[in-house]
Amino acid sequence: MSKITIRQDGSLIVPDCPTIPVVTGDGVGAEITPAMQQVVDRAVSVAYGGKRQIDWMEVLAGGKAFEQTGKSLPEETMEAFRTYHVGIKGPLTTPVGGGIRSLNVALRQGLDLYVCLRPVRWFKGVCSPVKHPEAVDMVIFRENTEDIYAGIEWQAGTPEAAQFYQFLHDTMGVTKVRFPETSSFGVKPVSKEGSERLIRSAIRYALDNGLPSVTLVHKGNIMKFTEGGFKSWGYELAQREFKDEIESGRLTVKDCIADAFLQNALIRPADYSVIATLNLNGDYISDMLAAQVGGIGIAPGANINYATGNALFEATHGTAPDIAGKDIVNPCSIILSAVMMLQYMGWHEAATLITQALEASFSEGRATADLARLMPDGISLGTKAFAEEIAARIQ
Ligand code: NAD
């Protein structure tokens, strides 16, 4: 057992046998997470001839954690992610009732994972609702800790909502609330620091990966100080910290209003490469772009703090209770998230082997039912058979 450690600049020192905490997840997590581990173990073994290996360490969250410890997100789990820095998780049931609103949000906020990273690309053979899915090749940097997602809101009719309105009205002179008695209120904090660290990460990613542009997507025409601030702080940061790269033409920094972006991303997706955006916009954009390349079952994601090096890779879909236990769930979201994890660790050879195996399988029409049934001559494989086939293709 050995730990990944982090240099002062946030880069990783990865031993040959790093311990990686893994949350199996609820519902289909029990099927997709072992499938992912099988494929990753095979790729690492083939890529490094047995010299490297992942030491998976199961940690608890969600339903299994609640059954065993009485808590949905035990402190030991948070501590393991802090100690080992890089982890991966299956989907978690959102607890119903009071307490934690969402385990995913609690993990992101608790570990200050300020980037939600979502690469979106098309795999040949996968059916898409658009004519040229191959033109969709983007990486979304969604701010993960601020915006209306901060969870600062008060329900209509409560004393807190009334008190908040009273402050707005009496102290701040706000007279624009149309129906104050029946209004709920939410607060949208967007800071210079929070915007800058997200946009800086996006620009560095573009430069490190030879990508041509970063687009700041915002709604600053309406929300002038929050979303507008995001845009202007972004441009100022780009000019201050990346002037040479911009002037030499290595990188373009541009912006687009969110509604126009949703249209443009459908009509001319090739104009966009790296996207930096706020939390709520990023939520909508991630799902729309994922749909353009084949949908929820193959959309990977990660939550990262590039300063501490802490990163949590995850299946982006939910627990899919309607198909759990039927051996039909598509494990590609978590497998592709593991590919991102291997790349983040610098284990590019293993990552490439997995990507190539998936490309080969999809181009032959061999996939789980959600994808195969839409492919001409598609052949549906169960979750286990698909994982075995992908592992076997890795030579
Ligand atoms: P869901 O993503 O679980 O399912 C939506 C639909 O997509 C279902 O029909 C499901 O069968 C299908 N689907 C999802 N993943 C699939 C896959 N890999 N292969 C094939 N089909 C797939 O969303 P939901 O039903 O709204 O949520 C169920 C539970 O998951 C809720 O408790 C919700 O809070 C939770 N959730 C968790 C996460 C997460 O942990 N990241 C994300 C979203 C929802």
pLDDT digits (tens), the chain, 395 positions: 699 999 988 889 999 999 999 999 999 999 999 999 999 999 999 999 999 999 999 999 998 898 899 888 999 999 999 999 999 999 998 766 556 668 888 888 889 999 999 999 999 889 899 999 999 999 999 999 999 988 899 999 999 999 999 999 999 999 999 999 999 999 999 999 999 999 999 999 999 999 999 999 999 999 999 999 999 999 999 999 999 999 999 999 999 999 999 999 999 999 999 999 999 999 999 999 999 998 788 999 999 999 999 999 999 999 999 999 999 999 999 999 999 999 999 999 999 999 999 999 999 999 999 999 999 889 999 999 999 999 999 99
> Given this model, what pLDDT does residue 49 score?
95
- In the chain, helix, strand, coil percent, each to 5? 45, 15, 35
β-pair partners for 2: 18
94 lines ligand 1 (CB under 6 A): yes
What is the reported pTM? 0.93
> Given this model, what pLDDT does residue 96 score?
63
19 lines ligand 1 (CB under 6 A): no
* Closest ligand 1 atom number to CA of residue 331: 18
Q: Which of 77, 48, 47, 81 lies closest to 65, judged by CA? A: 77
| CA dist., res. 40 & res. 22, Å (int) | 13
Q: What is the dihedral of CA 205, 305, 193, 166, to 10 degrees?
A: 130
Residues 6+ apart with CB under 8 A from 332: 297, 298, 300, 358, 368
Distance between first and last Cα of the chain? 27
324 lines ligand 1 (CB under 6 A): no
Element (H, E) at 355: helix 348-363
As to burial, measured by CB atoms within 10 angstroms (0-12 exposed, 13-18 middle, 19+ buried), residue 333 is: buried
> Given this model, what pLDDT does residue 140 score?
98
Residues 6+ apart with CB under 8 A from 317: 91, 296, 297, 299, 333
62 lines ligand 1 (CB under 6 A): no
Atom 5 of ligand 1, nearest CA residue:
320
Atom 13 of ligand 1, nearest CA residue:
320
